Amino acid sequence: MLVLIGMVFAALPSGGAAVGAALYPDLRTSLPSGLYFERGGDAHYRLRFDNTVGNYGGRLEVAVDGNRHIYQNVYDQHVGGSRVVRQKVASDLIFHPEHNHFHFKDFARYELLRKDSAGAYRTTSRSGSKTTFCILDFVRITSSGATNPQYNTCGSTVQGLSAGWGDTYYASLAGQWIDVGTSMLSDGAYALRSTADPYNRLLETNDGNNVGTTYFTVRNGALSVSGTPPLCSVTPDRGRVGTTVQLNCSRLGNGETVDVYWGSTASTPRKSVTSTSTGAISTSVAIPDSDLGNHYVIAKGRSSGKQAAALFNTLPSVALTQSSGIVGTSAPVTLRGFSAGETIEIRYYKYSASSQGTVVATAVASSSGSSSSTLTVPASPYGSHRVEAVGTSSGAVASTTFAVTPSISLAPTSAPAGSVVGVSLRGFVAGETVRITFAVDGRLLTSVTTSHSGSTTPSNALFTVPASMASDTYDVTARGGTSGVSAHTALTVTPATSESARSADVTTATHTSTPTATRTSTPTATPSSTATKVPTNTPEPTATPTPTATEVPTNTPEPEPTSTPVPNGSPTANGGEDRTVADANGSGDEDVALDGSASTDPEGRTLAYVWSMAGVEVATGVTATVKLPVGTHSVTLTVSDDQGAMATDQVVVTVEEVAPAVEEALTVEEATVEATTG
């Protein structure tokens, strides 16, 4: 019998391609095995046991979307094929941030029954405390179905059981027991009943074969079954890829070869060890590349066939091959332990007070949760900066740091004595005064103040090469007045040209961040081919009558024009038209393209673009793509030129939810027919 709960959503492949009949899973519980009693530190007695839920139908897949909504996906083939049913499973999967994955609620139920005087087994008040499970392919149970496991971990976005595979919970795992209280069970006949999917949360072809029952007796506090199953544990039980853990197991075969597996006994053993005369092993295991969440570390005896497992929780990690450097450094990034196939954003925090990092690179995780990328360090002040790797599907976060060191560059790097050179600083303390000097004699060339990113640009940080400097290559030093940090570069001084000599003659030796050359340009009554030098301590000259045009000899050279600063106008910000976009895939959010290319500057200066929401930076650049949830959002574009003039514009973006096509709910009779034929 097929039981349908709630709405069933059909998802046809693109292009209208034909699909086959839905292959629903068929869950069955094997008989609980390996029963034994244990007394815990709380003085309670526990009945421990192994339990396996097998899938004898089409593959079972449960998936979580970006809004943590849970769905069951049903396909028309055991491997690959098309998804033909998408069933929402409301509130039945629980995300565990401390475990980095979600658990399916009520995947199995454990009950203790006792035989009464009439010979009937009745339920007792004792039941298993474990109600949530992570689901994965652990052991192949049939020769049909999927040859290889498709669900190798308790993933944060997808879990499941392949066709022909089962998931085993060993007696040694936490919560895998029934608490029978502070007193041992009295003598009598009992039964342990395990039920898969007891509340019909999942679509199946048959819900009538989900129960497995093991009968046993208790005499004088002992079970009538002989022997106890082996136990394993790992220390630590969580960490990053590459972590070395200690695996300890007991109750295996005495003196036998024991193979250690990662994930499944269908894989290649990671190592082999020999157990002691009492059946114990203790060995170290390096955690291999693996995706986010829990994985089995399994020990299996070759002679006895006994096996046990412990769980290791893989955590995400991000590592930089270079942990410090100047702005513009390209640092390779290694990512491990994220959800398989998810997009990972690499975020760089430019300022210590920032709550929003700038996305500087992205990567897509492999099937083992690994990837790599390259981080190019953006303009940011001196010191340590947080670098985060964030899984966009799982929400998993790993972080490290990159330390920015100061740098200086000149434009040009080779200049004649007496000419003007621009200074570009990066990675100094924000707002500090930086002295630029010749290292050879400590001569001050200029002092400049850095921006909020610890930077300057060649257009507003200038100095004049002293006219007396001999032709040579000199070390130029920049030293922060607040931080005390310094950076060096080389300047090649060439012989002065007539123009550079004249510039040096009329320019002061030391500049503020915007030096100005001053020279007279109005000719006197007596023509002269040489510009008049104005001493800095000379008072303002009296007005000199300007000769008429007839009084100027025809051979008098054209006077030099007066250098007048060009006023800097404010730019115009244009973030595009307000618009509405659809949540096309029903994920609850949508990638929205932003375009500020219509923004202008009256002087044609280069503009910087920052996109923000509620005062928080979300992107930079003339164009950008941001992920917005369903709803209405106000996005602000701020443009600024290299002189500090700014302008803003607001764009209203509405992301609308698209209702998926809904199939009519099947009647019980129709459901039965579909289960029989499909």
pLDDT digits (tens, 9 = 90+) for 517-568: 333 333 333 333 333 333 334 444 444 444 434 343 444 444 444 444 456 7
Q: 414: which 2 tokens?
A: 């080779």
Average pLDDT over every residue of 631-637: 86
Rounded Cα distance between 428 and 514, Å, is: 19
pLDDT in tens, 152-203: 877 767 889 999 999 988 887 778 899 999 999 999 999 999 999 888 888 8
Most confident segment among 246-260, 588-602, 636-650: 246-260
CA distances (Å), origin 94, targets 69, 130, 200, 366, 603: 10, 13, 17, 25, 57
The string over 434-458, giving b where at least 16 C-beta atoms fall within 10 Å of a residue's C-beta and e elsewhere, is bbbbbeeeeeebbbbbbbebbbbbb
Pairing of strands 486-494, 414-416: parallel
Report which of 194, 155, 167, 2 is spatially closest to residue 87, judged by C-alpha positions: 2
Rounded Cα distance between 505 and 519, Å, is: 9
Q: 473: which 2 tokens?
A: 């290559």
The 444-449 sheet, strands edge to edge: 414-416, 486-494, 472-480, 433-438, 444-449
Q: Is the predicted pLDDT of residue 673 greater than 90, yes or no?
A: no
pLDDT in tens, 248-307: 999 899 999 999 999 888 789 999 999 999 999 999 999 999 988 878 899 999 998 888
Residue 572 neighbours by CB under 8 Å, 6+ apart: 599, 600, 601, 639, 647
SS3 516: coil
| Cα dihedral value 546, 549, 550, 551, nearest 10 | 30
User: What confidence tier does 589 reach under pLDDT thresholds 50, 70, 90?
Assistant: confident
How far does CA 87 lie from the centroid of its chain?
28
Q: Is the predicted pLDDT of residue 437 greater than 80, yes or no?
A: yes
Per-residue HEC secondary structure of 349-396 comes to CCCCCCCCCEEEEEEECCCCCCEEEEEECCCCCCEEEEEEEEECCCCC
H-run or E-run covering 397: strand 397-404
Rounded Cα distance between 315 and 336, Å, is: 8
Rounded Cα distance between 26 and 2, Å, is: 10
Asked if 426 and 454 touch (Cβ cutoff 8 Å), the reply is yes
The neighbouring-strand residues paired with 406 are none
Asked if 622 and 595 touch (Cβ cutoff 8 Å), the reply is yes
Q: Is the predicted pLDDT of residue 611 greater than 70, yes or no?
A: yes
What does the mean pLDDT of the chain come to?
Answer: 80
Average pLDDT over every residue of 478-504: 82
pLDDT in tens, 129-159: 666 677 888 888 888 888 888 888 777 678 8
Residue 350 neighbours by CB under 8 Å, 6+ apart: 358, 378, 379, 380, 381, 385, 453
Q: Is the predicted pLDDT of residue 455 greater than 80, yes or no?
A: yes
pTM of the model: 0.56
Rounded Cα distance between 52 and 246, Å, is: 26
Rounded Cα distance between 370 and 342, Å, is: 10
Predicted local distance difference test score (pLDDT) of residue 245: 96
Report which of 455, 25, 49 is spatially closest to residue 228, judged by C-alpha positions: 49
Q: 370: which 2 tokens?
A: 């690994």
Between vectors from CA 334 to CA 333 and to CA 339, what angle results, nearest 5°? 120
- CA pseudo-torsion sign 279, 180, 52, 93: negative
Residue 125 neighbours by CB under 8 Å, 6+ apart: none
Asked if 493 and 470 touch (Cβ cutoff 8 Å), the reply is yes
Average pLDDT over every residue of 355-373: 91
Rounded Cα distance between 589 and 631, Å, is: 9
Between vectors from CA 208 to CA 205 and to CA 213, what angle results, nearest 5°? 130
